[in-house]
Each structure stands twice: as structure tokens, then as C-alpha cells.
Amino acid sequence: MDPNPKTFPILSYIMGRIPTFGPRPDDPPVDIEQPLPAEAHSDPSSSSSSGAGQYELVEQMPRLTDPKLIEAMTRAVTDVAQTRSVLKTIGDRPDHEAVDGAKAKLADIEANLAKQLEDLVLSPRPDEVDRLQWRSQLADKENECRKQSEKEKQLYKAIIQLDEMHEAYEKLLKDAEERLEKIYEMAEAGGSVEEAEPSEEDQVTDEVNEEVVGILQEASGTGLERVDLSGRQLKFLPEAFGHIRSLVVLDISSNQFEFIPDSIAGLENLEELNASSNLLVSLPDSIGLLQRLKILNVSGNKLSALPDTIAHCRSLVELDASYNNLTYLPTNIGYELVNLERLSIQLNKIRSLPTSVCEMRSLSCLDAHFNEIRGLPQAIGKLTNLEVLNLSSNFSDLTELPETFGDLTNLKELDLSNNQIHALPDTFGRLDSLTKLNLEQNPLVIPPSEVVNDGVEAIKVFMAKRWLDILVEEERKSMLEVQEQAQAGWLTRSTSWLKTYASGVTEYIASPRTPKDPYLDQQL
């Protein structure tokens, strides 16, 4: 794990002077300000051969004898030292064969899981079990299969993650060597040691990294439940965070994360995750394994989509994905997130809501303003627990609401401002609980502006009367249709009888005469 002196000469030299990475006890001490013994040059196999390489480096880069420069360089590689410390605790890098074997095992487990789930779906329902019970049983069996599969995958995932951590460490070494070269060049060019030191931002990052390592070390021996790393300018979250299984609340908001590691799936007890105000472009599919997650905040990032697996977080109560670049929601998101109470998707580019959203029977607040929504699903009326709905500022896209809108009987607050709605649905008057309504900046014709200006109660009364008039008119038309059908039926029956009678007469007249009867002729 130590940097190779041939590949990373300056880094190896500096890390050899950090107390926790100094020479081994059996190595002779090296004084960078004193020349090495002659035998160190002549016998490369001696225990001082590494010291000889360092001596040659000092000859080539004489400023390395400056204690202030050494101190500045030491501060610049703190992240390397801390990462190496973590890796030393976790273990050596697995060989290529072990990694390939782990990937093959994961593929086999996934294939086996897919087969099990397929068999479950195709399994016939016993006659003595009703449909709801059968669905519940299938869901329980599916959970058992997934949990067993995840348990089998943990070892192989750990191998792959360890390999990835070592690979990242190799990149870190290269970056650190380049950083030290720049520091030395700046010092050699006549700049002060202070100018050669890392920027204030780099120092903050180093301090944060040290804090992260400290958290990992603390968590290894205790049941850590809450971690707050918000506003620390962090750029990556170590994979090892996935090993803190006791974690309940994790706040990594207001940093510079571009991704969240797959190892987050190991946080099996996590209930709240705040990853807002970062640079995230995607979420890992493994987030769907957080079965106890109740609150997820990923607002203020660069997400273009949410993973389909987010629907597996069945315990979710609040989901905030606002201020992103979302253009759609996962198709099946509503079928499984039946416990979701708050859904915030404002300030995105969403054009339509999937039909499955109508199955979120627990939803009480839906904020979808500042999107490109063109309409709501026809079954939106199923959301009978919805109390707050914000559809404002969809501008030229939202032009009408479905008739089932009137079934939202618990709706209390509704914002439809800044849209292109010409008429409220005829069932709008049935929204008895509505107390707050914003219809500004709409070309409304129904209800007319004078009614809108009188407030929400006037609008409800107007729409209710309009709905009643529509029902009365429909009833009148229905009765007329019944009468017309009755008359049409009588005429039809009469016409049918006449046709039958006329047809019989016609047939009689048109039929050829029967042969003459001699007896009758005689009587006549």
C-alpha cells in the first residue's frame, strides 16, 4: 500500500517522514540533512538501499532539505495518508481472479433471483385464498427472496468494493505526486513556502477527510446512529460508509458529491438521507435496498432521472426531488410507494405524471409547480387524502383538469396560477374542504372573472350550481330519450304487425289459384 519510490518518488519520500508512515523499526534512521554512508551507495541490497534512493532524490531536488517545504508537502498529502490508513484497516487489494469470480457470482445470484421472482409471478392462486391475501403473500415471498439474495451478495460486493477503493487510491497517489511536483516547482521558482502550500479550500477538504476517517474509525466499534457532514466541501463519500449498519440519519447536504457509492445499500437501518445541494447526476440503483428509508431529500442536484428501484423504498414518507433536471418519474413509482405522504418535484422539466401516482393513497401534499406538465392522469381523483396541491407555473402546457378532479374531497389548498386553464372542471364544486385557491394568470372563462374575484367560496357555489344545472339537464334529456324510445318502440311494433299482416295478404293474393273442385261447381 505504500507508494512505490520509483513511480512516486516525492510522495514516497514525504510519506516516509509522516510519523504513522515512517520507516520500520528495523530500518536505520535517515537524516535528510546528512549524507548517507558510502556502503549505502555501493550495496543496493543492504537495508539502507531505500535510503540511498532518497539520498539521490535529495541530490536532484536539494530544496527537499528545507523543513518548511517538507511541512507544506506533508499537509498536501494528508488525504493520501488517511486513505491508506483506512485501506490498511480494511485489507489488501484482492487479485484479479478474485474480483472476476465475485462479479460472476453476483451475476449468478441476480439470475437466480430473477428466476425466483418469475416463478412467483406465474404461480397459480389457490382457490381458498382471495386475491388480496394472495398479493400480500406474493409480496412477502418477494421480500424474502430479495433479502436472501442480498445476504448472499454481501461478501462478493465487499470484494468488488475493496478493489474499487484500491483503484481509487492508485489515482489518488498519482494526483498527490503531481501536486508535490507543483509545490516543489513553485518553491524552486523563488516563491515562498506559504505560496507553495495548498489553498484554504484544499486545507478544509483535508480537515474534512480527517473527520470522515475519524467517523469511520468511531463507527467500527460503536453503534453510531447519526452523522452530519453537511457543508464541508466534500467531493466523495468513502465506500466504507456502507459498513456503518447502525446508521439511522445521514446528512451529506451542501457538499460537492457527484455520486453516491453503491455501498450505501449496506445502511440497512437508515431512515433519513439528506443529499441535497450537491452535484449528483444520478442515484445508485442500490438505493432501492434501503427498506427502512422514510425521508429522502435529493433536491438541488443535477438529476435527470430517478432510478426505477426507488419504488422499492416502500417505507418512504417524504421524497424531495425538486430543483433538478427530471423529465419524468419512474413508471411504477406509485404502485409501491403507498406510504408516501409528501412528494416534492417542483422546478424540474416533468411533462406528465405516471398513472401509478394515483395509487399513492397516503399522499397529502404534492408540489409540482414550475414544470412542463400538460395534464393530470384521469384517475387523479383516487388521491382522496390529498390536502395540498401546487400545479402553478406550468405556463402554456397545463390547459385543463380531468373531471375526476372533484373527487379530491379532502383538498384544502390548491394553486393553479400561471397556466392556460380556460375552464375549471364541472365537478369542481364538490371540493367542500377547499379553503385556499389561487387562479391568477389563467385565461378563465368558467367561472367568469367577477366570480373569481369574490373568492374561493363564491367559486365553489358557482361551480356547484353549474354542476347541479348540468345534472338536471342531463336528467331531462335522459327522460326525453326514454319517452322517445318508448314511442319509437310502439311505432316499431305497430309497423312490424302491419308489415306482417300486409305480407300475408300479399302472399294470398299473389299465390296461384288452386285447381277447381267439381263438387263445388256442381253445387253452384
Residue 298 belongs to a domain: no
Q: What mean pLDDT comes out for the span 176-181?
A: 80
Same domain, 187 and 333: no
Q: Which pLDDT band, with edges at 50, 70 and 90, does 207 fall under?
A: very low
Q: Which of 54-58, 97-101, 168-172, 491-495 has the lowest mean pLDDT?
A: 491-495
Position 46 pLDDT exceeds 80 = no
- Domain region containing 166: 1-17+60-197
Residue 455 belongs to a domain: yes
The DSSP result for 293-320, as a single string, is --EEE--SS--S---GGGGG-TT--EEE
Position 294 pLDDT exceeds 90 = yes
Q: Which of 32-46, 157-171, 452-466 has the lowest mean pLDDT?
A: 32-46
Whether 290 and 273 have beta carbons less than 8 Å apart is answered as: yes
- C-alpha distances in angstroms, 160 versus 86, 104, 192? 16, 11, 44
Residue 488 is predicted with a pLDDT of 65
Q: Which of 12-26, 253-267, 313-327, 353-367 has the lowest mean pLDDT?
A: 12-26
Measured distance CA(57)–CA(50) in Å, rounded: 11
User: Which of the two residues, 188 and 517, has the higher pLDDT score?
Assistant: 188
Residue 19 is predicted with a pLDDT of 58
The last residue of one of the domains, among 136, 169, 197, is: 197
Q: Is the dihedral of CA 513, 518, 523, 524 positive or negative?
A: positive
Residues 6 or more apart in contact with residue 340 via CB below 8 angstroms? 316, 317, 318, 319, 360, 362, 363
Position 32 pLDDT exceeds 60 = no
The mean pLDDT value of the chain amounts to: 79
Measured distance CA(137)–CA(197) in Å, rounded: 63
Residue 73 belongs to a domain: yes
Q: Which pLDDT band, with edges at 50, 70 and 90, does 387 fall under?
A: very high
Residue 521 belongs to a domain: no
How many domains, the chain? 2
Position 517 pLDDT exceeds 50 = yes
The last residue of one of the domains, among 197, 222, 239, is: 197
Residue 1 is predicted with a pLDDT of 61
Residue 342 is predicted with a pLDDT of 96
Residue 345 belongs to a domain: yes
User: Which of the two residues, 502 and 428, has the higher pLDDT score?
Assistant: 428
Whether 53 and 62 have beta carbons less than 8 Å apart is answered as: no
Ranges 9-13, 228-232, 259-263, 275-279, most confident: 275-279
Position 504 pLDDT exceeds 70 = no
Q: Which pLDDT band, with edges at 50, 70 and 90, does 190 fall under?
A: low
Q: What mean pLDDT comes out for the span 5-21?
A: 73
Q: Which pLDDT band, with edges at 50, 70 and 90, does 45 fall under?
A: very low
Rg (CA), the chain: 39
Q: Which of 9-13, 56-60, 201-205, 343-347 has the lowest mean pLDDT?
A: 201-205
Q: What mean pLDDT comes out for the span 132-149?
A: 84
Residue 321 belongs to a domain: no
Residue 213 is predicted with a pLDDT of 66
Residue 402 belongs to a domain: yes
Q: Which segments of 5-77 does DSSP mark as H helices, in order?
A: 9-15, 38-42, 49-60, 67-76
Position 298 pLDDT exceeds 70 = yes
Grid coordinates belonging to 215? 467517523
Q: Work out the percent of the chain whose per-residue pLDDT is above 70.
A: 78
Tens-digit pLDDT profile for residues 434-473: 999 999 999 999 889 889 888 888 998 888 888 787 777 7
Q: What mean pLDDT comes out for the span 294-303?
A: 95
Residue 42 is predicted with a pLDDT of 37
User: Which of the two residues, 435 and 34, has the higher pLDDT score?
Assistant: 435
**CATH code for the domain of 432:** 3.80.10.10
Q: What mean pLDDT comes out for the span 357-382?
A: 93
The last residue of one of the domains, among 169, 197, 225, is: 197
Residue 313 is predicted with a pLDDT of 93
Residue 309 belongs to a domain: no
Q: Which of 70-74, 299-303, 405-409 has the lowest mean pLDDT?
A: 70-74
| HSE, side-chain direction, 13 A CA sphere, residue 301 | 28
Which one-letter amino acid corresponds to residue 163? Answer: D
Q: What mean pLDDT comes out for the span 287-305?
A: 94
Position 339 pLDDT exceeds 60 = yes
Q: Which pLDDT band, with edges at 50, 70 and 90, does 321 fall under?
A: very high
